[in-house]
Amino acid sequence: MRDWIYAIEGTPAGHDVALVLALAAAFLHALFGALQKGGTYDPWTSRTVMDVAIFSLAAPVALFLVPWPPAELWWVLAGMIAIQTTYKLLQGATYERGAYTVVYPVVRGTGPLFTVLGAGLIFGEHFTAIQWAGVGLLLVGLFGLSAYNMTHVTVERATLVPALGLAVVTGLMVAVYTTWNAYGIRAMADPFTFLAWFFMLTSLDFPLIALVRGKWRRPEAPLIRLGALGGVVALGSFGSIMMATRLDNVGEAAILRETSTVFAALLGWFLLGEAVGLRRLVLISLIALGAVVVEFG
């Protein structure tokens, strides 16, 4: 597998694989968000049990199956932990205060714009005029969807303004972790080393916080099932997007991942009972069209 990844990096085949991975990450990220936000449990409890599952799956791989990170790159892992913990805290606070279909498009709308700009500064990536037009379409769809949701979603209205503010800051952190992790997975000779250590180290924070706060409890069967499912989905989501950024353009992968909003609207309707409607479908179509224009521009 490693040799195959090394062989297709920066090639047309690598581009095609990165496309598939970014779209897979989009669906899985939307599903992960719905699992964390929806259901019987609050976002903090849901994320804690998911992190326990992620650690249980990643630790044996990181410690025994892949090469350990070289000493000169431990600063990358330290930064990764700080960035990811900040992102997760902001995300939990956002989900706690706002309806999923309102805040999720804002998070995903601000994230790719900052990521594209960051990829240009750090990795020297540049979009064509047509691709920037695609970015514009995607952002119109994302923020249009959020604006529509603001006027029609009636749940959690009292905390809507702080929820939207937190969503913007969370979107900025999405860009920071996407760019940082793209650098990290490219810097490591073995990409699976970075992935395994990423999941092991960034899944410790919420369980430790729960333990310190005295919030730890013996989970019942439904919570265990939620944690196990969310853990597997998280591995697929974050693993796919990070591998896509190693194989191909960071900015394009970030844009394609934002089609997660399309899946989020459908999952919000199907799993959380949040209505979709014709106008939402039109705005969702703009998001998808923008991603297509970026990809083929």
DSSP code string of the chain: -HHHHHHHTTSHHHHHHHHHHHHHHHHHHHHHHHHHHSSSS-HHHHHHHHHHHHHHHHHHIIIIISPPPPGGGHHHHHHHHHHHHHHHHHHHHHHHHS-HHHHHHHHHHHHHHHHHHHHHHHH-----HHHHHHHHHHHHHHHHHHHHHHHH--TT-TTHHHHHHHHHHHHHHHHHHHHHHHHHHHHSSSHHHHHHHHHHHHTSHHHHHHHHTT---PPPHHHHHHHHHHHHHHHHHHHHHHHHHHHS-HHHHHHHHTTHHHHHHHHHHHTT-----HHHHHHHHHHHHHHHHHHH-
% pLDDT > 70, the chain: 85
Mean pLDDT of the chain: 81
Q: Is the pLDDT of residue 54 over 80?
A: yes
pLDDT tens, position by position, 217-267: 677 888 888 889 999 999 998 899 899 888 887 777 777 777 777 777 777
d(CA 160, CA 100): 11
Number of folded domains that form the chain:
1
Q: How many CB atoms lie within 10 A of CB 123?
A: 16
Which of 15-19, 112-116, 156-160 shows the lowest per-residue confidence on average (mean pLDDT)? Answer: 156-160
Residue 218 has a pLDDT of 73
pLDDT, average across residues 6-23:
84
d(CA 270, CA 220): 25
Residue 226 has a pLDDT of 86
Task: Choose between 152 and 132: higher pLDDT.
Answer: 132
Residue 154 has a pLDDT of 59
Q: What pLDDT band is residue 276 in, cutting at 50, 70 and 90?
A: low
Residue 107 has a pLDDT of 78
d(CA 281, CA 297): 24
Q: Is the pLDDT of residue 76 over 90?
A: yes
Residue 274 has a pLDDT of 63
Q: What pLDDT band is residue 62 in, cutting at 50, 70 and 90?
A: very high
The pTM for the full model equals 0.81
Q: Is the pLDDT of residue 79 over 90?
A: yes
Q: Domain limits at 87?
A: 2-296
Burial of 179 (0-12, 13-18, 19+ CB in 10 A): buried
% pLDDT > 90, the chain: 23
